[in-house]
Amino acid sequence: MAPGPGPEGRQTDVAISFRADRQQLFGCWNAVANLVDKAGTVRIRVEAQCEEGFDPVWLRNAVLEPIEESGADRDEG
């Protein structure tokens, strides 16, 4: 996302990408919440790799269902 022209030349779009472990993610979460306070919503893209592969039952129960139950609009694909 490139910054768009806004009032008084202010940046209107923000795109941030970072790699984080569990502890770092919790440390960053307030920053994301601060952005939501100003923007109303944010789009979050999560990418993860596991050399052994993800157990499909665990993935559904531990990741996909909690996201769906949160009410967040999940992008497909």
Tell me the per-residue pLDDT of 18-69, one tens digit each, with 9 for 90 and over: 999 999 999 999 999 999 999 999 999 999 999 999 999 999 999 999 999 9
Higher pLDDT, 76 or 34: 34
Q: Is the pTM of this model over 0.95?
A: no
In this prediction, residue 55 carries a pLDDT of 98
In this prediction, residue 58 carries a pLDDT of 98
Q: Which residue type sits at 4?
A: G
Q: How far apart are CA 68 and CA 73, in angstroms?
A: 8
In this prediction, residue 8 carries a pLDDT of 82
CB 3 within 8 A of CB 11: yes
Cβ neighbours of residue 63 under 8 Å, at least 6 residues apart? Answer: none
